[in-house]
Amino acid sequence: MDKIKIMSENLANKIAAGEVVEKCASIVKELVENSIDAQAEVIKIDLIDGGLQGITVTDNGVGMSPNDAVLAFQRHATSKLLKEDDLFFIDTLGFRGEALPSIASVSEVTLTTSQGEEGTKIHIKGGQLLEQELSDARVGTKIEVKNLFYNTPARLKYLKSEQSELAYCTSFIERLALSKPNIQFTMTNNGRTIIKTSGSNNLLKTIHEIFGLNVSSKMLELHCANDDYEINGYICKPEVLKSSRNYMITIVNNRVVKNNDLNRAINDAYYTYKPETKYPLVVLNIETDPTLIDVNIHPTKQDIKLSKVGDLTKLLINSIKDLLYQNLLIPNALKEPLNNPIKEEIISNIFQTKDTDNTNLDYKEDIQTTFDLSINESPTKEEIIINPEIKKLQLYPVGLALGTYIIAQNENGIYIIDQHAAQERINYEKYLKALKDKNVTTIAPLFPITIELSASDFITLKEHLADLTNIGFNLQEFGVNTYVVKSHPTWLKEGYEEESIRRIFDLVINSDRKFDPVKFNENIAITLACKMSIKANMHISHEAQEELLNQLTQTDNPYNCPHGRPTIIKFSIYDLEKMFKRVMN
């Protein structure tokens, strides 16, 4: 008896729904992406209880004919791929023809659509067409989804709470709005507006509408390109950091993607500008030839394969590092007053769209409060160019506060320097320069240093003896699981040679399987710089303070320590006079 049979179309759709429809945000994603592909300029998403009780997406796109409205719910029915070659030139967000039939197979869907003449309304439940009738002629499409997973209770129980599902939906729409700043997005939950963007086609303005003024005022514009890729967007200053990687938003050919190589490159570019547990906020648009990418590797189409990914990550790292280096300024200790012409121009631009919406009458007041409470100085490009670098500053120490902070002054104001962070930066650059020097000078200790290890650590270290030799170590095996250091580089701090060597060995032993010599050298420099620097609550003489400031001004990047903490903060004369009411504006 034959056992193999072709499954029904409805069963196949339910199986496909397991990949396409994981949560409420999956439905929002597929429906909104269809609206974008339909050339919509205004898209509204209405949720009930975070989407658990209902999801409605309304757009002003091109709409569908009566026949297309029905055919859209057939599996693999699509208007976006017509022939095999089109798979290599995908310029739409959707193309598989799986989303609508998958959604309809596990829920109840009502679709209303029109191209401007007569409209069509269809009602589908569990994949079965229940009703088709004429509707109003409003151009665009409206899709309502309810009773999600009513016929697959095993999936229903895995839906999260209302707040969790709402958070997923909100996160997705935020990312999509940033990828499409030319589209006006509105998302509500139980009638309350959660997201509203203006569709101004201004990415920085959209960043403001999503993240607020405290973030948008601290973004740096990035433009770079090579032969295959062009990158445009914004990266944050190191003072705007998040505790999650989710804020590294990468958009490839107008599609929001999650790619580990891109995220790793962005994070690496901020190396030494931030703590390891913090991550930057960036919004980057990457344009390339469609033949260099493959989006057809997962039903959600959020993962992506990139050709020449090495060239792309190198471009990202170098461009972000250069931009940060060019724009890092000494942060002002005080918040900026509102009467800044740059900020007021941003406000006026925002209100050109916001004032037309009665639901946002208090928006201007909210922004005014945001300025007063949370905005640091955000200089224009001209100010950045003429801003005097710390290397040109003449800083005169006047004392030490709390045994930790050097107080210095000049004709521009008062500067507070963290003595540990400052010397960390000095030592870091000294060690890094020595590690990059190909002409390594070594010295033999008077009494050979022996390092005893566990068996596993001994084997791991043995694999990287060549890397240690390259930076000036001469190691020989001595007894069981022990190395004797015959000579070591001269840049190790005198009196701390054995401690430094043990720390370097620990870095080798605990390094990733994919050993990166460049990052290894940086880790050595960071580790030794921290351990060999002046500690907090350690009083140093006035002469030592002067020497520390002189050395700091000669470093390549004097603004922060290698862990990303600031080394110096400024109180301008204006700040001081405002604090003491000598000026009143």
The DSSP code sequence of 446-502 is: SS-EEEE--HHHHHHHHHTHHHHHHTT-EEEE-SSSEEEEEEEETTSPTT-HHHHHH
Among 44-53, 263-272, 348-357, 471-480, whose mean pLDDT is lowest? Answer: 348-357
Residue 336: pLDDT over 50: no
Half-sphere exposure of 474 (CA within 13 A, CB side): 12
The answer to whether 80 and 93 are in contact (CB under 8 A) is no
CA distances to 238, 401, 443 from 185, rounded to whole Å, are: 29, 51, 66
Output the pLDDT for position 357: 41
Q: Residue 329's pLDDT band (boundaries 50, 70, 90)?
A: low
pLDDT band with cut points at 50, 70 and 90 for residue 385: very low
Q: What angle do CA 27, 29, 34 make, to 5 degrees?
A: 100
Q: What is the pLDDT of residue 296?
A: 54
**Most confidently predicted of 40-54, 394-408, 437-451, 524-538:** 40-54
pLDDT at 390: 58
Question: With 70 as the cut, is the pLDDT of residue 28 above it?
Answer: yes
Is the pLDDT reported for residue 145 higher than 50?
A: yes
**pLDDT(398) > 60:** yes
| CA gap 529, 534 in Å, rounded | 10
Tell me the whole-structure pTM to 2 decimals: 0.69
Higher pLDDT, 147 or 20: 147
Does position 176 have pLDDT exceeding 70, yes or no?
A: yes
Q: Which range in 20-24, 89-93, 350-354, 370-374 is most confidently predicted, on average pLDDT? A: 20-24
**What CATH number has the domain spanning 218-327?**
3.30.230.10
Q: Residue type for 171, please?
A: S
Q: Does domain 9-196 have CATH number 3.90.550.10?
A: no
Whole-number Å distance between alpha carbons of 1 and 365: 76
Q: Reading across the β-sheet that carries 568-572, which strands appear in turn?
A: 396-401, 405-410, 413-418, 568-572
- Over residues 471-479, mean pLDDT: 87
Local structure of 147: helix, strand or coil = coil
pLDDT at 372 over 60: no
> Please, are residues 217 and 344 in contact by the beta-carbon 8 Å criterion?
no
* Rg of the chain over all Cα atoms, to the nearest angstrom: 30
Question: Mean pLDDT, to the nearest integer, of 238-259?
Answer: 86
Contacts of 169 (CB under 8 A, 6+ apart): 24, 25, 28, 45, 47, 50, 51, 187
Give CA–CA dist 499/530, Å, rounded.
13
pLDDT at 4: 67
* pLDDT > 70? residue 87: no
Tell me the residue type at 580: F
| Average pLDDT, integer, range 155-181 | 86
How big is the CA angle at 299 (ends 293 and 300), to the nearest 5 degrees? 80
Mean pLDDT of the chain: 79
Given a cut of 70, is residue 209 above it in pLDDT?
yes
Helix (H, G, I), strand (E, B) or coil at 14: helix
Percent of the chain having pLDDT more than 90?
22
HEC profile of 377-393 = CCCCHHHHHHCCCHHHC
% of the chain residues with pLDDT over 70:
78
Helix, strand, coil percent content, the chain, rounded in steps of 5: 40, 25, 35
411-429 burial string, b = 16+ CB within 10 Å, else e? ebbbbbbbbbbbbbbbbbb
- Which amino acid appears at position 131 of this protein? E
Distance CA 80, CA 28 (A): 19
Give the other-Cβ count within 10 Å of 395's Cβ: 20
Q: Report the chain's terminal Cα–Cα distance, integer Å.
A: 92
Q: What is the helix (H) or strand (E) element at residue 505, kind and residue range? A: helix 497-509
Q: For residues 47 and 51, give the distance between their C-alpha atoms in angstroms, rounded to a whole number.
A: 5
Question: Of 535 and 48, which is predicted with more confidence?
Answer: 48
Q: How many CA within 13 A on the CB side of residue 531?
A: 19
Domain 442-489+494-531 class, CATH top level: alpha beta
* Position 200 confidence tier, pLDDT thresholds 50, 70, 90: very high
Average pLDDT rounded to a whole number, residues 410-435: 88
Specify burial of residue 447 (Cβ count, 10 A radius: 0-12, 13-18, 19+).
exposed
> Residue ranges per domain, the chain?
9-196, 218-327, 331-387, 442-489+494-531
Confidence of residue 239 (pLDDT cuts 50, 70, 90): confident
At residue 510, the pLDDT reads 81
pLDDT at 351: 39
Q: How confident is the model at residue 11 (pLDDT cuts 50, 70, 90)?
A: low
Rounded distance, CA 319 to CA 321, Å? 5
* pLDDT, position 8: 63
Cβ atoms of 62 and 49 within 8 Å: the answer is no
Mean pLDDT of all residues in 563-572: 84
Res 302: pLDDT: 61
What are the tokens at 409? 């002054």
